[in-house]
Structure 1
């Protein structure tokens, strides 16, 4: 364990997980001060965290780091859905330009000694050519061409460049599996909260999950322990999609891949769920990551297995009402009329999802 006295800057504290992490870190006896940074203030209580309203895309972030004499930076502000950012262009700017400016600020600051980056297993992509389990030194079989996965690949490239230029800084990258839990709002939780779950016919993808409590725990562990490197982080075991849907006791409808894409476009426009190309690839091929290095080198053991994390998420789900059959019927009718025509979300689907999101908000 390192000596006390850390001054930690956490980005992305306006969102729930960032706020909760910063607040829990402020209670750690090895940490003196926590400075939370974001473009808008968080909705919840930050406790002993000092909030600074700042945009990491702006060079002013360098002044914040210098003024506060920050020695540890935890970067959590990478956004996974365009809707959260106000559009794909803004999302890319926040993710990529924001990270570049933050790293430039860290490079100039002689006080900075440790950088922790919350990354994602999405960086490996999902394709028919994937290995059973990705280890940290493997590359995606198909380089991402757009969206969140491309942003993450670029961000990791900039982080590697920073690590070369500032060899004196310990850099820890956490490639987290899909984070899930009762309070998580993300593309995958929105998908599982749909009253009828669309699947790609002929495929039953493998999935790994990380419980929201384990995400906070691994971030804290990486912050207070000096273990540089890149680590896959996921709960033990895998679930296949059909098992997950059965455990939620939700109806599903199997569609051709292009029809899932059409339905996904409609759901995305209606802001009911995010069906990006990488999300559809994941729902087709799935993904598995090897977590040996997480245990052996990082020294972290998740409290929840993949199954336990999903079960805890499932316990928070409301019971589906009688509209499920109507939604299934509407989808089947549209397919019968011709799946080439864009699918539109049925009123029952929209109402059911809105009702559930209100329950989870």
Structure 2
């Protein structure tokens, strides 16, 4: 049981809620949340008994914050934040350079014995030639080198280097599928909230999603229990991109891949954006179920529906039309099978 936990990225939904839940654990004496900006009033309330320290993990001051906190466990939840107001260059600097500075501070701390990294299944990339399902040991054919996915690849590389230098520290890497939920504000949720959703002509990507409550449950167990290693974390089942668009009641417009990315960027506004050609990957979660003994409560479809209903999206297409169409598709697939 950790005594003192330091959590990065507490101005985002996951970081703030995780800090609050850890602070409520009887065996945890202190939780310190770190971010460059203060959490909103609602997120600050969710942090409960956790303390907030305004600090930039890119700055050497983070070493002082880590030492003064006396943390024996560090949760780097800010490496893949769901908030997307950062410009691309700023996001890269915060994630990659910030991670390097944080890891250097952990390496110099004699008290740190556990590191938990919130990563993403986007490190596998998305290529039509890829396998249908990725395991933790699958080497991507064409790993992403730019954007948020490229940042995640770089961050994981630095974490592996830290693990080699500090073999006495338990390192857990959690590769989360894309989070969707009523209170998740991300490039993906804004993409599906747009009235017109550009999709890639001739390709209906398979989406594996994750409800934030399941993400928080896995993070909590990674902190309170010892599960070193790399783990895929995703809900059971998949939705095709077309099914997701219809369930959200949006109007899907198939266009060539490059144009789809441009249109998605225009609809999403500033900050980081969804690139429709990069959507579509499914990760195997056998290792998570075996080692953690954990199965997500929400399926991919349930998580997406909770996002749609919770955000109060008004459908442009009648829901009964969608349900009737999906029933016909299911019957057709059953006859083919």
Residues 51 and 317 of structure 1: CA distance in aligned 2, closer, same or farther (over 3 Å): closer
- CA displacement at 1:167 relative to structure 2: 0.4
Quick check: 1:11–1:37 contact (8 Å CA) kept in 2? yes
Secondary structure of 2:85's counterpart equals: helix
**1:206 Cα deviation after fit:** 0.5
The 1:72/1:23 distance shift into structure 2, 3 A limit, reads: same
Gaps of 5+ in 1: 325-361
Contact 1:231 1:298 in 2 (8 A): no
Report if aligned partners of 1:181, 1:309 keep a CA contact under 8 Å in 2.
Answer: yes
Q: Which has the larger displacement, 311-320 or 37-46?
A: 311-320
Work out whether residues 100 and 158 of structure 2, in 8 Å CA contact, stay in contact via their aligned partners in 1: yes
Displacement of 1:154 after TM fit? Answer: 0.6
With 11-20 and 257-266 compared, the bigger mean Cα shift is at 257-266
C-alpha distance in 1, partners of 2:161/2:126? Answer: 25
Structure 2 length-normalised TM: 0.88
- Structure 2 Cα separation of the partners of residues 311 and 267 of structure 1: 22
Determine whether 1:318 maps to 2:312: yes
Alignment of 1:76-155 (within 5 A): 76-79=77-80, 84-85=85-86, 87-155=87-155
CA contact (8 A) 1:236 1:305 kept: yes
Corresponding residue for 1:288?
282
CA distance 1:309–1:213, change in 2 (3 Å)? same
In the alignment, which of 23, 40, 51 is matched to residue 26 of structure 1? Answer: 23
Consecutive unaligned residues in structure 2, runs of 5 or more: 318-337
Shift of 1:135: 0.4
**1:236 matched residue in structure 2:** 236
RMSD over equivalenced CA pairs, Å? 1.9
The residue that corresponds to 2:71 in the other structure is 70
Deviation at 1:150, TM superposition (A): 1.1
Counterpart CA distance in 2 for 1:118 and 1:79 is: 7
How far 1:197 moved relative to its partner?
1.6
Measure how far apart 1:321 and its partner are.
7.3
CA distance, structure 2, for counterparts of residue 117 and residue 28 of structure 1: 20
Partners of 1:62 and 1:243 lie apart in 2 by 47
| Cα pair distance change 1:139/1:80, threshold 3 Å | farther
SS of 1:96's equivalent?
A: helix
Judge conservation of contact 1:120–1:177 (CA < 8 Å) in 2: yes
Q: How many Å separate the matches in 1 of 2:295 and 2:267?
A: 36
Q: Deviations over 1:232-279 (max 9, x none)?
A: 0001111111222222222222212232133134235x33x8545xx3
Q: How far is 1:198 from its partner?
A: 1.5
Deviation at residue 299 of structure 1 after TM alignment = 2.4
The alignment of Structure 1 onto Structure 2 pairs a total of residues equal to 313
Does the aligned pair in 2 maintain the 1:79–1:91 contact within 8 Å? no
Aligned pairs (5 A) from 1:233-272: 233-268=233-268, 270-271=269-270
